Structure 1
Amino acid sequence: MTDLSLTDLAAGTVVKPGDDDWDAARAFHSGVGEPTIIVRASTVDDVRAAVRYASSERLDVMVRGGGHSAWGAVPGGVTLDLDALDDIRVEGDLVHAGGGATWGAVAAVLAEHGLGVSSGDTASVGVGGLTLGGGIGWMVRAWGLAADQLVGAQVVTARGEVLEVDTESHPDLLWALRGGGGNFGVVTRFDFRAHPLTAVVFATLGVSGDARPVLRALRETMRDAPRELTVTYMDVPAMDPNAPAGATITACWIGDDEDAARAALAPLLALEGVSETELGVRSYPDILMDMPAADPDQPMPGFVGGNTLLEELTDDAVDRLASFREANQASVLFLRSLGGAFGDVPQGDTAFPARHATWFAMAGAFDVPGLVHDGNRPLIQAEWDAIEALGAALYGNFTVSTDPALVSRMYSPETIARLAEVKRRWDPQNLFCRNHNVRPA
């Protein structure tokens, strides 16, 4: 380890090609990486040493929390593994989560205190990646994004300094962390303002037949729905025997009032082709999905499509989304309701785009041989591009692409300029570029 000049590591370890545990260390949730070295940090001082080493050796840094990001597959650089920095502490309604913590663990600890934080859908997703990219979760209409609940952070900068960041100390950096991605340093601790939460009502509705009337009814239902309710529509192909194919509406209601949840969903349940599969009180940790890690021997197929934040789910958008799913046998369609607290946040208060959006939509065809080929791949992408053009911005957390051009579709020119100024101050050499990168001004 000392030959890598990382002698300042207090307790962490360095893994390099040829080491016995190299193959295990470079595997992350979504695949297998090919970094130059891997630093498994156990303390904040380990993070500082790793960052200083990377800077001195002119190596890019890729920070790994939960490991769901596609950036782990980009070769070279230093992979900084924060898995051991997973401490979770609760002080009143304030929760401190280490940069290596996962949302399932945070939800479980908060449940013991009768609290919750809106945190995405999947237990194994890292706190860091989801929050820094925004974080559209099950309580987005009541509490906003995960980033909206972020009130402070501990950050190791590109110079190896440790900053305590909040609205009074380095507010520019806090602004950028709320949706600007991992461009600005290594966040070793996240501080969230939690909310009272003892239980949720979770419902699953089966959907059959034409998606168009269902999506239009879903739009009208959510237009004036109580903020306690957030819904998702998903239609998936028969590709995985563990995941039932077909269309469903899932809904999460904050609290244990089944009658109120059922009343809010009544217009949907009255539709032809919609049936109640499940509706009952659950604990919030129990509704977070478990996503199996990637199998290197059976890599996921490519994905032709994308996502967008829609100001309105217009009839045109509904028809285009439904038609995309119908035209592509091995495709997925996903929508989640926004509005409410998400839209209460003024656009300039965080880096996250399109606060006026009321729906998030994603669709894509899996690039399966025999179903997608060189001749129709551009046509499928063009079909999606026409849908994306209806939206206001792309949501970076829901793309597996590492194309640097995506940044211009994620943020407005004004937001990019402001992010670039923050980047110039805290990472002028662009050490943290293994992300949807905003280059320093």
Structure 2
Amino acid sequence: MATERALPNLWHATAPAAPETGPLQGELTTEVAIIGGGFTGLSSALHLAEKGVNATVVEARMIGFGGSGRNVGLVNAGMWVKPDDLVATLGADAGNRLLKELGDGPSLVYDLIAKHGMQCEAVRNGTLHMAVGAEGLKDIEDREAQWKKRGAPVEVLSADRTHALSGAEGFAGALLDRRAGTVQPLAYARGLARAALAAGARIFTDTPLVAATRQGDLWKLKAGQGSITARHVILATNAYGDLVADVPWKAHTRELTILPYFQFATNPLPEKVATRILPERQGAWDTGLVMTSFRMDQQNRMIFGSIGRLDAIAEGTHRAFAARSLRKLFPYIGDFRFEYWWDGSIGMTTNNLPAMHVLAPNVVSVSGYNGRGIAPGTVFGRALAQHVMGDASAIPLAETPITPDPWRTVKSAFYQAGAHAKHFVDRRL
């Protein structure tokens, strides 16, 4: 579910202006209708338009309204699931193909940024997966071994080297993944939108999908105050599927457990402090049971995040935890204040891997990025475009039936309550 409270989001404050778009009025015909204006939908639109295919995006709110404008901005390679576990789940052929596609995902992102001149604070110096204690160190050592046997440029760093690259206290080591990096995520989404428009795609915002009916070989979509006739439909809503009306093929949203994630951003820190924290500007997250993340932006703001929703009940607890954490991790940080805070939703699947569905004739979706939206969203957007252009093998996932999770609401509430409780007591000593 999308957060409806008006929270001050750093990405909205610092991203270049979005390209001019507006609601759909009247009727139009398109080859491919794309529902959702985030990384996946915009990547699909761009790759279709570049091949001369008539593509139209309809977004219920604004470009990047969902996870694309709320996430941490880490452009990670692969999925959260360890490589060997991913292969064990999907099988050797499918698993290794997915690992290859997503391992190369950051390269696709940064290539698009360079090709289209996107102004999105792109830095590609890797990311740091920070080890919490001996158990966390074992976890990242396993990940290093599994990725290295596949030729990936990853390296476990000593505690001293981790401290030097992060400026943070208390970690047993870190996994440096040189394929990865950071971006200003909303700026990247807006860059994709601008590139798609320049290539000939159409984008309509404030245009929620209201209804869908099959008419012969075509789909008739009512969207906002207008309507679209399309041969193909790409559903690219992921965790924000509730913004779409209860059309016949919306059921895929019911297999996603919603994991809330918040972030706080400080005022710009003094130069003498900012140069000590992540001096090479990697983004970082840890192996903790309730994960936390931290990174810097180009204005020297520290951005700290963790699991939880910034609702009226929990916001104070999460804010205090974020402040305690920064002082614990960076004892030299000095005085700071939080200028921005926001939250978003992550779509989790039962196996922590994305799912591909053919929801109806010529209606296809990929969802469930499990906290890895930027590179996978871009990769799957391109693959969905290739799929509707006739390449049946383009999507590096096998089609699966929709499997609603009957416990999704309970699990989401448990994650939110558990994070709230943990943040109430954590790092008080």
TM-score calculated relative to the size of structure 2: 0.24
Structure with the larger RCO, 1 or 2 (CA within 8 Å, 6+ apart): 2
